[in-house]
Amino acid sequence: MPPKLTVSQNVIDRLTTVKQKCLGNLYGILYKNTLLIIGLHIHDGKKSEFIHSLPTEIDLHGVVEVGDGLINEDRVKQVMSDVDVTDTPIYMSCRISKEENSIETYYNVNNRLERTTYDIISEYDIYSQFLHIRLMTQLPLISGVTVEQIRDSFVVLRKQLTHGQVVFNFPKTRVYMMGSDCENGLIGLTGDPTVGEICKESTGITEGCDHSYQKKKGPPLDIDVLRVIMFRKITRDLVTDNVKIHAPVMHIDKKAHQSLIMTINIDALSIVHRDAKVVELYAMLVESCCRYLRLLEARVLANIKTCGGDYTKFSEPETFHFFPDSCGHFITRAYVKNDSEEELENERMVLHKQLLLPLYQPLFRRANRFLFKGDVQGSGLLINPHEGIKTSGNGGEIALVRGKYSYYHYCQNNMDDNGWGCAYRSLQTLASWFRWQGYTEKEVPTFKDIQKCLVDIGDKPSNFVGSKQWIGSTEVNFVLNSLMNITSKILYVSSGEEMGSKGPELINHFKTQGSPVMIGGGVLAHTILGVDYNNLTGNIKFLILDPHYTGSEDLAIIQKKGWCGWKGVDFWDKTAYYNMCLPQVPICI
């Protein structure tokens, strides 16, 4: 009997908007006699290795066809021949419509298509049931430089894993997963605990994400991640009856030889149901490492081929985990360190099309990587300090900044800009947002960078560099445009009281652009992170990030003392005029 079918809301959302014929794969997780379809990948005429970019336990479970809704059973069975993890692969037919596409699902049972129903499941419900395991370790790779030699070396690495030469450990615990080397495969645990129970009892080994992903609808999405590290066995078993002991023999063949020597930093993800038994993780973790090695092997081979025999041009690969909101699951990509974002643009364009993702915003640039709690965040600045703040209680439509930004404020980096640097700090916050979203690779400008830029474009005299002179929204606009090629829209109000009339324009900005807003008036500058506008009453609340804070990066104090919080119209000075700089988001990937 085929399993019950559930489909991720994200998969449904992407399919219902497609307006051209296409054919692709469906990827899912089988658990408790339920098949969860969590991802899709449209064919581009080439053999797909996309499975290696997905967390282990997500497998190819069927195909999806978008078109006129007519089903050619023979053709369907042919394209489903690559599905080998199940005897009852799923076929999804998406019929294109002028309004919203309709979706039908079928199981292939005994070589016949049988119609089945499906339930739609939200991301919140998915990650309430599932968690991720992040395996991190290092493996040495020593190989010749030919394609065949590199392939053979990766095969050797995978064989070492599959032949039981590794042990897995939960950090900060004495729990080890030994495979078949002990009675139940575990050391340091009694009974038969589930993965969910391990997470609850040992919160120190879960890292999750750096912040909750707040969806457009529904509660915040918390992604729990269980860390695991791997060790290699260096001792032999005591039973050596079948081992022949002999003197070592060495053969030396002197000749010129080129070698590829690199340390592979394994960073592999798996997804597992919280009710899965810990004892079952060993085989899954081995497969997770092997899947990661296949992903890395493809990138290394591609890089070797582009070297054209000049191996000094070889650059080691680096991997990144991405979790695009419009995708709903992790995707791991390997990039070559020396490749710029511009050189990878065509590759990203193909990936966006294959995943039916928007073509107007970056999702797979290095800056778009998913941040785990254990990841180094560079400068140590707070990221998204507005998250977790209670709603304003205004009862209106809420529109907030989208994505990540860093909080810049007075007296950071041992610099005393108290009393004059607030607009500079707001500008840095805006610039950090564009960098975090991947729209630019340029560093957040320093005070000197900002002042020199304004001098270079002729807005300020040469003695402005190194001074303590204020800047305003106009200068912020100039610097963003000159240094980052970001254009801005300027809004003017004649008094703070008039800010109450700007609700619709600010709502539109945060819904369409999503970038933070710099506002300057009188002698003060602030950053607006969102608004709550009640169209019925006309009342409005502003989510303010205050650059005048002079303390340490203490999130509790910043939120409790109102350095980041909701403010009413009376927050603005009635006697001062205000200019707002609304940065516009470029269309790119």
Phi-psi region of 164 (alpha: psi -120 to 50; beta: other; left: phi over 0): left
What number of residues does the chain have? Answer: 589
| Orientation of helix 447-456 relative to helix 473-484, angle to 10° | 90
**Positions of E strands within 251-298:** 259-273
Dihedral sign (CA 310, 312, 316, 317): negative
Distance separating alpha carbons of residues 160 and 153, to the nearest angstrom: 11
**Sequence-separated (6 or more) residues with CB below 8 Å from residue 546:** 409, 526, 527, 562, 563, 564
Given the residues 132, 546, 564, 581, the one annotated as active site: 546
Per the CB < 8 A criterion, the answer to whether 545 and 564 are in contact is yes
Q: Which residues pair with 540 in a beta bridge?
A: 533
CA distance 17 to 357: 11
Q: Tell me the CA distances in angstroms from 501 to 146, 277, 574, one per residue in order.
A: 67, 57, 13
Dihedral of alpha carbons 308, 309, 315, 321, sign: positive
Tell me the residue type at 321. H
Return the ∠ at Cα 435 (arms to 510 and 565), rounded to 5°: 45
CB distance 303 to 274 below 8 Å: no
Q: Which helix (H) or strand (E) holds 5?
A: strand 4-8
Taking the C-alpha atoms of residue 142 and residue 402, their distance in angstroms, rounded to an integer, is 44
Return d(Cα 295, Cα 98) in angstroms, integer: 39
Instruction: Decide: 40 and 24 in contact? Cβ < 8 Å.
Output: yes
Contact 325, 122 (CB under 8 A): no
Catalytic residue selected from 422, 453, 564, 581: 422
One of 210, 548, 554, 573 is an active-site residue; which one? 548
434 vs 28, 225, 429, 471, 484, CA distance in Å? 34, 27, 9, 20, 9
CB 127 within 8 A of CB 223: yes
- Whether 422 is a known active-site residue: answer yes
How far CA 482 is from CA of 245, 374, 488, in Å, comes to 72, 35, 11
Which tokens in the block code for residue 380? 């140590």
Cα 408 from Cα 430, distance rounded (Å): 9
Report the distance separating Cα 300 and Cα 336, nearest Å. Answer: 8
Residue where the block lists tokens 């009376």: 570
438 secondary structure, DSSP code:
T
What Å distances lie between residue 343 and 234, 296, 311, CA to CA?
42, 19, 19
Whether 143 contacts 153, CB under 8 Å: yes
Residue 85: which of 5, 28, 36 has the closest Cα? 28
* Active site amino acids: 422, 546, 548
